[in-house]
C-alpha cells in the first residue's frame, strides 16, 4: 500500500491523560477514511493534532514531501501543514464579520496572496458547487445551520488541500439540515480528494468510506473496509460499540 499521507506514532497527552496513544495511519491518494468510536476516545483530537489545533507531543506526520516531527515542529512546519489540510468544524466556525463568499476567499487572498478577482472567481465556483450561488453576499448570521456548514466545507475546499479533515460535520446540525451536508460531502468525495471523516453517522460512514477505522481509548482498535467492520468486525470492542449505536 503506497501512502502519500502517513501518520506514525502520534501521541497526545493532556496532563496525565494520554488522549492519543501511538496512532499509526496511512492514507492513499483519494482515499476516504471514516473514523468511528465512542465519545471521548480521541477521534476529534486526532484530527485536531493533524492540523496542530492541538499540538501533538510525539510522532510524525508526512504529507507528500512535507515531513513534520511533532516534537520539534517549527512555526513554518505548522503553517505549511495547515495550508495543505482543510478542516471542517463541528460548529462551522465561520468568520462572523465576513460574507459567505469572503469566508471562502479568505484563505486564497490572505494566505495564498491571490489577487481578489481570481479569488472571487474561484469562490463563485465553489458557491455553485455547494449550492449557494445566490447566497454569496449573505453573512453567516443570515444562513441556516446547514448552509453555514456548507460554507464551512467550501472554505476548506478552497484550499485544494491534500487532505480534508471533517470533525463531526453534522453533529451540531438540526436533523433537517443533516441530509444536505452529507450530500455535499458525498459530492466532493469523488475519489480524488483524500478525506478523514470523524462521524457518528454510521450509515453515512458505511456508504462513503473506503476504509473505516474504529478507535477506543486513544488507540486504533481495528480498521478495514466498511463491509468487514460493520458486518464482520474481529474485535469484540468494535462489535459492542456497533451494537450500542446500531
Partner 1 sequence: MNALDIAYMWDLVPVIAGYIPLTLFMALVSMVLALILSAMLAIVRVLKLPVIDRGVAIFISFFRGTPLLVQLFLFYYGLPQLFSFMTNINGVTAAIIGLTLHFSAYMAESIRGAILGVDRSQWEAAASIGMTQGQLLRRIILPQAARTAAPTLMNYFIDMIKGTSLAFTLGVTEMMGAAQKEAAGSFLYLEAFLVVALFYWGIVEILSVGQRRMEQYLGKAVAR
Q: How far is the CB of 153 from partner 1 (least distance, A)?
A: 12
In order, the DSSP letters of 55-90 are --SEEEEEETTEEEEGGG--HHHHHHHHHTEEEE-T
Do 198 and 44 touch, CB atoms closer than 8 A? yes
Q: How far is the CB of 174 from partner 1 (least distance, A)?
A: 17
Q: How far is the CB of 90 from partner 1 (least distance, A)?
A: 9
- The residues that touch partner 1, with contacts defined as CB under 8 A, are 51-53, 79, 82-83, 85-87, 89, 91, 93-98, 106-107, 110-111, 141, 152, 155-156, 159
CA–CA distances in Å: residue 219 to residues 12, 120, 214: 11, 42, 9
DSSP 95: -
Strand 17-27 relative to strand 5-14, pairing: antiparallel
| Residue 58 bridge partners (DSSP) | 11
The enclosing H or E element of 52 equals none
- Pick 52 or 204: Cβ nearer partner 1: 52
Q: How far is the CB of 142 from partner 1 (least distance, A)?
A: 9
- Pick 95 or 231: Cβ nearer partner 1: 95
Q: How far is the CB of 106 from partner 1 (least distance, A)?
A: 7
Give Cα 44 distance to the centre of its chain: 9
- Pick 147 or 238: Cβ nearer partner 1: 147
Sole residue written with cell 445566490: 134
- Pick 42 or 140: Cβ nearer partner 1: 140
DSSP 65: T
Q: Which three cell numbers stand for residue 191?
A: 475519489
Q: How far is the CB of 61 from partner 1 (least distance, A)?
A: 15
Residue 155: other Cβ atoms inside 10 A: 29
Amino acid at each position: 500500500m503506497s501512502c502519500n499521507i502517513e501518520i506514525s506514532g502520534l501521541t497526545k497527552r493532556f496532563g496525565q491523560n494520554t488522549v492519543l496513544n501511538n496512532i499509526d495511519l496511512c492514507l492513499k491518494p483519494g482515499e476516504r477514511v471514516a473514523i468511528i468510536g465512542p465519545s471521548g476516545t480521541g477521534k476529534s483530537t486526532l484530527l485536531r493534532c493533524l492540523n496542530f489545533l492541538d499540538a501533538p507531543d510525539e510522532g510524525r506526520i508526512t504529507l507528500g514531501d512535507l515531513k513534520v516531527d511533532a516534537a520539534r515542529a517549527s512555526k513554518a512546519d505548522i503553517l505549511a501543514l495547515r495550508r495543505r489540510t482543510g478542516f471542517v468544524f463541528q460548529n462551522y466556525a465561520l468568520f462572523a464579520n465576513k460574507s459567505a463568499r469572503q469566508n471562502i476567499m479568505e484563505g486564497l487572498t490572505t494566505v495564498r496572496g491571490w489577487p481578489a478577482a481570481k479569488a472571487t472567481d474561484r469562490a463563485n465556483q465553489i458557491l455553485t458547487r455547494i449550492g449557494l450561488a445566490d447566497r454569496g453576499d449573505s453573512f453567516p448570521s443570515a444562513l441556516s445551520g446547514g448552509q453555514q456548514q456548507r460554507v464551512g466545507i467550501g472554505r476548506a475546499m478552497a484550499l485544494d488541500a491534500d487532505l480534508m479533515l471533517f470533525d463531526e460535520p453534522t453533529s451540531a446540525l438540526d436533523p433537517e439540515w443533516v441530509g444536505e451536508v452529507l450530500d455535499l460531502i458525498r459530492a466532493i468525495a469523488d475519489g480524488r480528494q483524500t478525506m478523514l471523516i470523524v462521524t457518528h453517522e454510521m450509515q453515512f460512514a458505511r456508504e462513503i468510506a473506503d476504509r473505516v477505522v474504529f478507535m477506543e481509548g486513544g488507540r486504533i482498535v481495528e480498521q478495514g473496509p466498511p463491509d468487514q467492520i460493520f458486518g464482520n468486525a474481529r474485535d469484540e470492542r468494535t462489535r459492542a460499540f456497533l451494537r450500542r449505536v446500531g
